[in-house]
Amino acid sequence: MAKVRKAFVCTECGEDFQKWQGQCASCKSWNTVSEISLGRPERGGGNVRTMGYAGERSNVQLLRDIKADEHPRLATGMAEFDRVLGGGLVPGSAILIGGNPGAGKSTLLLQTMCKLAASMPALYVTGEESLHQIAMRAQRLKLGTDDLKLLAETNVSSILAAIEQHEPRLVVVDSVQATFVPDISSAPGGVAQVRESAAYLIQAAKQKGFVLFLVGHVTKDGSLAGPKVLEHMIDSSILLEGSHDSRFRTLRGQKNRFGAVNELGVFAMTEQGLKEVKNPSAIFLSRGEEMTPGTVVMVVWEGTRPLLVEIQALVDDSQLANPRRVAVGLEQNRLALLLAVLHRHGGLHIGSMDVFVNVVGGVKVLETSADLALLMALVSSLKNSVLPRDLVVFGEVGLGGEIRPVPSGQERLKEAAKHGFTKAIVPRANVPREGIAGMSVVAVDKLSGALDALEDML
């Protein structure tokens, strides 16, 4: 039998070596050289013709000859899940779901598979739990378990054999870090194992047309563990977020070849699993009766819909030589930038004070439309003045103190009006021509104008 060919490749720069070494000679990175299998060589030595590359017919086709019929999407039974996926499951797609331990990844997929197994063949492959543990979870969640097929296996060859035998339309592999390819000598969870295991499974999904769910682990900083090439191989990358002290979970699409990126779905963790939240804005706006300084509501755009979120700021005297800057749900560098703009173009110096910023509900705001709302909250806390309860603010702030427009401004104002907001401070370019019924909109061009408008409301 011919010997399996192997190579040692750096996972950072892709340089290959004849043997393993601790440091890559090309990029100088440590512990990045991994062993991979190149397969068994064909008979006939290195002759290209005997290796099967000559004499075979090519599968090259003209683009105009390929039928672009759109396959109907498969609904998961959860509107929030379908929203993040771009409208449902696409046959032949590979979806990677990541999240912290205990976030609810396995629970969400088990709920989805039990619902869909009643109408189509489905296979749930577990590599980290026993079949008895999954059965106990399904019983606790009161799920229908009559039609879902289970397999406890980590060998990719055995998983592919089961897929060949049962021909499912839905397959879950929990998790990809637990699977292994026998031809590779490294341990499961290594860079080479994760890459090759995912490649075999994704190739089978594309050829046979079934939907593949891959559960992935995350690192300490919240990014998906394993080689970066894994995120390029899959069609959709979804991250399930949520703290242990909160019953709410957010499902965010980080990559989607069949829908919008950064789409957000909101779920609530209950005794019967994850339940979708139909109106997320109402959840994030559950404020107390008494308003406090440093609080304002902003409208952020998540995927294809507006979302009303409350932002809080606290400015206090610092007892330290270096005042603290803490941002929860916002980017730390963005906070430092806006503080400099507020000093230069707003005339308010809070550089010697501690500044704490928090987005209520555990939502992570990734867009710049929160700039103006953040500055208004800081000014409110600094002056210890309460902002109007029915005020909503959004807009991007430039380094020159200008207030820049944001996309979908009219839709944001309409969403705020639905929830009873009657006042708004927005960029001038975002003011609708026909106005919003029941809402007074203040248009601003500069930060100084926004501060004057805020002063009139305090």
- Helix then strand then coil, in percent of the chain rounded to 5, is 30, 30, 45
Taking alpha carbons only, the member of 432, 413, 415, 419 closest to residue 389 is: 419
379-395 per-position pLDDT tens digit: 999 999 999 999 999 99
What is the DSSP code string of 115-137? HHTTTS-EEEEESSS-HHHHHHH
Q: Hey, which bits of 257-304 come out as E strands?
A: 264-270, 273-276, 295-302
The DSSP letter of residue 257 is T
Asked if 342 and 414 sit in the same domain, the reply is: yes
192-210 per-position pLDDT tens digit: 888 889 999 999 999 999 9
Asked if 103 and 235 sit in the same domain, the reply is: yes
Asked if 196 and 295 sit in the same domain, the reply is: no
Asked if 262 and 293 sit in the same domain, the reply is: no
Q: In this structure, how many other beta carbons lie within 10 angstroms of the beta carbon of residue 365? A: 21
Residue 218 within any structural domain of the chain: yes
Taking alpha carbons only, the member of 155, 239, 242 closest to residue 201 is: 155
User: What is the largest distance, in Å, between two alpha-carbon atoms of the chain?
Assistant: 86
Residue 64 within any structural domain of the chain: no
Asked if 317 and 365 sit in the same domain, the reply is: yes
Distance CA 368, CA 371 (A): 6
Under the banding of pLDDT at 50, 70 and 90, the label for residue 44 is: very low
Helix axes 332-346, 371-383, angle to 10 degrees: 60
Cβ-contact 159, 151 below 8 angstroms: yes
Domain count along the chain: 3
Given 250, 278, 306, the domain boundary residue is: 278
Asked if 271 and 292 sit in the same domain, the reply is: no
Residue 270 within any structural domain of the chain: yes
Under the banding of pLDDT at 50, 70 and 90, the label for residue 58 is: low
217-273 per-position pLDDT tens digit: 887 766 776 667 788 899 999 999 877 667 888 898 989 998 888 888 989 999 889
Does residue 172 register a pLDDT over 80? yes
Question: Can you give the pLDDT at residue 188?
Answer: 87
Does residue 400 register a pLDDT over 50? yes
Under the banding of pLDDT at 50, 70 and 90, the label for residue 348 is: very high
Pair of tokens at residue 347: 């005339």
Distance CA 9, CA 195 (A): 12
Question: Can you give the pLDDT at residue 227?
Answer: 67
Owning domain of residue 14? 1-55
Question: Can you give the pLDDT at residue 280?
Answer: 84
Residue 401 within any structural domain of the chain: yes
Does residue 96 register a pLDDT over 50? yes
- β-strands 353-359, 273-276: how paired? unpaired
Pair of tokens at residue 368: 């710049």
Distance CA 419, CA 17 (A): 62
What is the DSSP code string of 68-90? -PPPPPBP-S-HHHHHHHTSSBP
Distance CA 324, CA 353 (A): 8
Asked if 301 and 323 sit in the same domain, the reply is: yes
Give the residue ranges of DSSP H helices in 129-190: 131-140, 156-166
Pair of tokens at residue 167: 């021909």
Asked if 128 and 171 sit in the same domain, the reply is: yes
Asked if 452 and 432 sit in the same domain, the reply is: yes
Cβ-contact 238, 228 below 8 angstroms: no
Does residue 140 register a pLDDT over 60? yes
Q: What is the mean pLDDT of residues 435-456?
A: 92
Kindly report the pTM of this predicted structure. Answer: 0.76
Asked if 214 and 315 sit in the same domain, the reply is: no
Given 278, 296, 317, the domain boundary residue is: 278
CA dihedral 25, 31, 32, 37 (to 10 degrees): 100
Given 251, 278, 305, the domain boundary residue is: 278
Q: Which of 3-7, 58-62, 256-260 has the lowest mean pLDDT?
A: 3-7
Under the banding of pLDDT at 50, 70 and 90, the label for residue 90 is: very high
Cβ-contact 425, 442 below 8 angstroms: yes
Question: Can you give the pLDDT at residue 328?
Answer: 92
Residue 65 within any structural domain of the chain: no
- Is 438 or 243 the better-scoring residue by pLDDT? 438
Asked if 163 and 127 sit in the same domain, the reply is: yes
Place of tokens 């720069």: 13
Residue-averaged pLDDT of the chain: 87
Under the banding of pLDDT at 50, 70 and 90, the label for residue 14 is: low
